[in-house]
Amino acid sequence: MLPDIAFFDSIAEAAAAETLPRFRMPVTIDNKQAGGFDPVTEADRAAEKAIRQIITERYPEHGILGEEHGNVGIDRDHVWVIDPIDGTRAFISGLPVWGTLVGLYHKGKAVMGMMDQPFTGERFIARPGEAMVLRHGERSKLSTRKGVSLDQAIMMTTSPSIFPQTLEPSYKRVENSVQLARYGCDCYAYAMVASGHIDLVVESDLKPYDVGGLIPLVEQAGGVMTTWSGGRPEMGGNIVASGSAELHEAVLELLNQR
């Protein structure tokens, strides 16, 4: 039996208790990437610890794949995928477009997911057959925007600089084909696809914890999320999320031109 929405609410509240008091406050930043910048803060580590404790107490038989505290039992049927702060760069910059991502995989497929943005008071949750957002105490259904052609589409990516030289031409073909391209927002962009405000997200080199909580949101809201080659996105890689199957097909065609 899958967890209920109240369980995801409890996870979100526990994480927010660690992240919100540290947001827009002086915070220690460590760099995880030699020769680059991959920041992690005490808020990341404390939030993931709180999430893992709740999951382990309720579901000790489940595995956990986490960004900050390693993996346990990832060969089990049920695996939780955790990114305590997706968008740490936004977090340390004081921008409220970061989020806490928690996904649940069953036999390798993402079946439930959450993106919680506690500063704006938005909690996006998806389970089989339903995607919803909680705002100001009220839940409403999520639905992607349909009937949008590529030349009408609004697209987002975290930054055009994330694409390696080999992939940049493919990305540029898409950017040059849409009506509007915007940068930033990390996980928040996928929530906007699920909400029907934008149509497309294109990114590269993502990890499982970057996508685990987002796949069900996009899919259960009526969208499509795959790798650039059209495969399942659960293990990350080069990722595209679209509001409709027709738009997704058009984007994949551009991305895979030779």
pLDDT, one tens digit per residue, over 34-71 is 666 668 899 999 999 999 999 999 999 999 999 899 89
pLDDT tens figures, 193-210: 999 999 999 999 999 999
Which of these CATH numbers, 3.40.190.10, 3.40.50.720, 3.40.190.80, 3.40.50.10800, describes 150-255? 3.40.190.80
Which of 217, 216, 219, 187 has the alpha carbon at shortest distance from 203?
Answer: 187
Share of the chain above pLDDT 70, in %: 97
Extract the tokens encoding 59: 């579901």
Q: Whose structure tokens read 């540290």?
A: 22
- What residue segments make up the domains of the chain, in order of their start? 5-141, 150-255
Extract the tokens encoding 179: 């009506």
What stretches in the chain show pLDDT beneath 70?
A: 32-38
Helices (H), the chain: 5-19, 42-58, 88-92, 168-175, 187-195, 208-211, 215-220, 245-255
Q: What pTM was computed for the model?
A: 0.95
- What per-residue string of b and e applies to 23-56 under the rule 16 or more CB within 10 Å gives b? beeeeeeeeeeeeeeebbbebbbbbbbbbbebbe
Q: Whose structure tokens read 């590529």?
A: 150
The packing angle between helices 5-19 and 42-58, to 10°, is: 150
Specify the CATH superfamily of domain 5-141: Fructose-1,6-Bisphosphatase, subunit A, domain 1 (3.30.540.10)
Which of 115, 102, 109, 19 has the alpha carbon at shortest distance from 67?
Answer: 102
Alpha-carbon distance of 221 to 16, in angstroms, equals: 25
3-class state of residue 7 by DSSP: helix
Alpha-carbon distance of 200 to 244, in angstroms, equals: 9
